[in-house]
């Protein structure tokens, strides 16, 4: 955007609803010597142009003036005056925030909306505006993991927080506890951790939201229970699965679940261990596994370069013995391992709590049967599936350091790979919604499900994106004019109006998502937005 005297500025709409941007414009017009050009510079400074705050240097470049001159223009137009006499709407916002210890960006916007107040700019811009009006000086802006933000953070409002440092320190401690526990247990229960550690009220809810937004966590909500695992190499699950898939190429989820349950049960100590259904839910969604219906294969880099987690001596001897027989009894296995010089505690651990050994308990305790974790027949992989596996593995590697990195703001590291998935080597592609063929420059890499709402496995699945044209489909989907019922588009009646965008939404109603982009299933697609 270029700032000029011809920039179209919003006019105050009046009425019960108050738009802070409109109020700012009206206020600045009341100040002597304030041109539209200066007003536009001020609005840009507070992130009301394009959703991101620009630096003084960037504003100066757009105005063809120096950084110092840009600063003077902003000060003269607004900052000096607002610090002495804040707008009444800002005082209203401050009053709402004074009641909050910690609040997510989207929750704040909803709270303001309930009071008839709208803020169309960035979160850091709103906080800066309040600070320069000498309001809410105790509040700062934080990332989903409770770290202070830097200038120009471009992240979804749902993932940014406004909070007070003292309370944030408590949340950091709680989040660290929550981050450390799955490394030991594989899969942890947040409700149990919060209760055992006597977390302050509301901390569990906030940390739960942070885990969901982290981009590196799998989670499963079952009633009040919140099971989760951070998918990093420090998690004991990674080591267990790496060993399993060093032996077998594929495994049935129903067979692998009980094996991992045995292994994790012995590691859980006083904490509740996950049930087999919880573990199976993890296996169906882990970024380290590729799912083929109810069969999973390994997607970790070890599968690419031939390396794996090393087996211990007793694990090697156990595998060697079980490889020679279809199944065996405990006395026979115990006798073999004792002959190798191992004591009973080590033997029990290597058999009853190993991720490599399947224990059949169906005939009763005295008749347990032991065998290697059974291998499943690998399904045939066609060329498209092989390409999918390649991209899935590349995206999975990003998890070691998270999917966001700061480069004067937060950049989605996986976005380039997802763009390549859709468009690499192509000059044209069809839009997944309207079905028309466009040059790739007229298409965007659109998330079927909002990225902020994706668990780690979804965020790093190539099937989470689809190509949408910039000739209306991307706009209509992102703004909620259309949503999915199964694979069919529905025009959102809540958006009905005598406008061209509503007419465009109606024109899409009844169409189906293009068959090329249905992989991942309806669970990836956005249903009707909440009113």
If you average pLDDT over residues 203-217, what whole number do you get?
84
Q: pLDDT grade, residue 198 (50/70/90)?
A: very high
Residue 519 domain-assigned (yes or no) = yes
Q: What is the pLDDT of residue 412?
A: 52
Q: Which residues contact 353 (CB under 8 A, 6 or more apart)?
A: 262, 263, 265, 266, 267
Q: Where are the beta strands (DSSP E) in 237-381?
A: 250-252, 289-292, 295-298, 328-329, 357-360, 369-372
Specify whether the CB–CB gap between 254 and 358 falls below 8 A.
no
Give yes or no for residue 152 having a pLDDT over 60: no
Indicate if 366 and 456 belong to the same structural domain: no
Question: Is residue 8 over pLDDT 90?
Answer: no
Instruction: Establish if 186 belongs to a structural domain.
Output: no
Any alpha helices (H) in 308-460, and if so which ranges? Answer: 313-323, 330-339, 344-352, 383-397, 415-423, 456-459
Structural tokens at position 303: 């599968």
* Whether the Cβ atoms of residue 393 and residue 288 lie closer than 8 Å to each other: no
Residue 481: pLDDT band with limits 50, 70, 90: very high
Closest to 315 measured CA to CA, from 232, 234, 246: 246
Query: Does residue 3 belong to any structural domain of this protein?
Result: no
Q: Tell whether the model's pLDDT for residue 11 goes beyond 50.
A: no
Q: What is the pLDDT of residue 201?
A: 86
Q: How confident is the model at residue 6 (pLDDT cuts 50, 70, 90)?
A: very low
pLDDT digits (tens, 9 = 90+) for 55-78: 888 888 888 888 898 888 888 767
Q: What pLDDT is attached to residue 338?
A: 93
* Residue 491 sits in the same domain as residue 388: yes
State how far the Cα of 462 lies from the Cα of 447, in Å rounded to an integer. Answer: 10
User: Is 266 a residue whose pLDDT tops 80?
Assistant: no
Residue 309 has pLDDT above 80, yes or no: no
Boundary residue ending a domain (137, 152, 167): 137
Helix ranges restricted to H, 16-87: 20-29, 36-45, 56-63, 67-74, 80-84
Domain count, the chain: 3
In the predicted structure, residue 339 carries a pLDDT above the cut 90: yes
Share of the chain above pLDDT 70, in %: 85
The tokens of 492 are what? 């959102």
In a domain, 89, yes or no: yes
Query: 350 and 411 share a domain?
Result: no
- 96 occurs within a structural domain: yes
Q: Are residues 389 and 514 in the same domain?
A: yes
Give the rounded distance of the alpha carbon of 171 from its chain centre: 19
Higher pLDDT pick, 153 / 507: 507
Average pLDDT, the chain: 81
Which among 1-5, 377-381, 430-434 has the top mean pLDDT? 430-434
User: 203 lies in a domain?
Assistant: no
296 pLDDT above the threshold of 80: yes
Across residues 170-187, what is the average pLDDT? 89
**367 and 388, same domain (yes or no):** no
> What does the alpha-carbon distance between residue 205 and residue 211 come to, in Å, rounded to a whole number?
10
pLDDT band at 1 (very low <50, low <70, confident <90, very high): very low
Please report which confidence band the pLDDT of residue 305 belongs to, taking 50, 70 and 90 as the band edges. Answer: very low
Parent domain of 243: 236-372
Do 507 and 393 reside in the same domain of the chain? yes
Domain boundary among the residues 137, 171, 187 is at 137
387 lies in the same domain as 366:
no
Domain boundary among 96, 117, 137: 137
- Give the mean pLDDT of 118-135: 87
Give 399's pLDDT tier (boundaries 50, 70, 90): low
In a domain, 197, yes or no: no
Average of pLDDT values for 174-193? 90
Highest mean pLDDT among 89-98, 189-198, 233-242, 345-354: 189-198
pLDDT tens digits, 358-373: 888 887 777 889 899 8
User: Which structure tokens are listed for 491?
Assistant: 């025009």
Does a structural domain hold residue 183? Answer: no
For the cut 80, the answer to whether the pLDDT of residue 29 exceeds it is yes
| Whether 332 and 445 share a structural domain | no
The answer on 405 and 339 residing in a single domain is no
CA atoms within 13 A on the CB side of 342: 22
Q: Is 81 exposed, middle or buried (0-12, 13-18, 19+ CB in 10 A)?
A: middle
d(CA 365, CA 319): 22
Please state which of the ranges 153-167, 196-210, 258-272, 395-409 shows the lowest mean pLDDT.
395-409
DSSP 8-state symbol, 486: T
How much is the pTM?
0.63
368 with 387, same domain: the answer is no
Q: Which carries the bigger pLDDT value, residue 6 or residue 454?
A: 454
Judgement on whether residues 258 and 361 belong to the same structural domain of the protein? yes
Same domain, 345 and 408: no
pLDDT in tens, 271-284: 888 889 999 999 98
What pLDDT, on a 0 to 100 scale, did the predictor assign at position 484?
92
Q: How far does Cα 515 stand from its chain's mean position?
A: 26
């Amino acid at each position: 955007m270029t700032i000029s005297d011809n920039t179209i500025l919003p006019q105050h709409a009046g009425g019960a609803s108050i738009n802070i941007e409109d109020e700012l414009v009206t206020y600045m017009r009341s100040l002597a010597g304030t041109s539209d050009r200066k007003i536009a510079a001020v609005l840009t400074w507070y992130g009301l142009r394009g959703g991101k705050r620009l630096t003084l240097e960037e504003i100066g470049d757009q105005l063809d003036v120096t950084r110092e001159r840009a600063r003077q223009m902003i000060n003269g137009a607004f900052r000096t005056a607002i610090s002495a006499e804040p707008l009444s709407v800002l005082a209203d916002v401050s009053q709402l925030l004074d009641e909050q210890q910690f609040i997510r960006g989207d929750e704040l916007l909803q709270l303001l909306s309930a009071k008839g107040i709208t803020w169309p700019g960035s979160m850091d811009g709103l906080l800066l505006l309040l600070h320069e009006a000498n309001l809410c000086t105790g509040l700062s802006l934080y990332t989903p993991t409770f770290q202070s933000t830097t200038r120009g953070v471009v992240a979804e409002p749902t993932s940014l927080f406004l909070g007070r440092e003292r309370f944030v320190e408590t949340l950091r401690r709680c989040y660290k506890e929550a981050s450390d526990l799955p490394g030991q247990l594989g899969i942890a229960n947040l409700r149990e951790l919060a209760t055992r550690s006597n977390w302050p009220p509301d901390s569990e809810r906030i940390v739960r939201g942070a885990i969901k937004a982290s981009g590196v966590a799998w989670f499963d909500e079952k009633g009040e229970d919140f099971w989760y695992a951070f998918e990093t190499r420090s998690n004991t699950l990674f080591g267990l699965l790496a060993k399993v898939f060093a032996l077998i190429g594929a495994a049935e989820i129903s067979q692998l679940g009980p094996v991992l349950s045995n292994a994790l049960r012995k590691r859980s100590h006083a904490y509740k261990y996950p049930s087999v259904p919880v573990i199976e839910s993890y296996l169906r969604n882990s970024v380290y596994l590729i799912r083929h219906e109810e069969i999973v294969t390994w997607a970790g880099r070890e599968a690419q370069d031939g390396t794996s987690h090393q087996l211990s001596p007793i694990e090697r001897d156990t595998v060697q013995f079980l490889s020679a027989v279809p199944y065996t009894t405990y006395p026979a296995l115990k006798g073999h391992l004792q002959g190798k010089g191992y004591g009973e505690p080590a033997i029990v651990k290597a058999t009853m709590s190993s991720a490599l050994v399947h224990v059949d308990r169906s005939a009763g305790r005295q008749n347990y049967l032991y065998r290697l974790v059974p291998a499943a027949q690998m399904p045939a992989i066609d060329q498209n599936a092989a390409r999918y596996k390649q991209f899935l593995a590349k995206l999975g590697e990003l998890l070691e350091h998270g999917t966001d990195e700061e480069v004067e703001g937060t950049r989605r590291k996986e976005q380039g790979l997802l763009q390549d998935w859709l468009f690499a080597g192509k000059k044209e592609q069809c839009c997944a919604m309207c079905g028309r063929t466009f040059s790739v420059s007229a298409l965007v890499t659109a998330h079927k499900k909002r990225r902020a709402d994706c668990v780690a496995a979804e965020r790093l699945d190539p099937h989470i994106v689809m190509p949408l044209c910039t000739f209306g489909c991307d706009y209509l989907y992102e703004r909620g004019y259309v949503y999915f019922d199964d694979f069919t588009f529905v025009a959102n009646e809540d958006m009905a109006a005598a406008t061209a965008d509503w007419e465009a939404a109606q024109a899409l109603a009844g169409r189906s998502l293009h068959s090329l982009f249905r992989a991942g299933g309806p669970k990836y697609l956005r249903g009707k937005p909440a009113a």
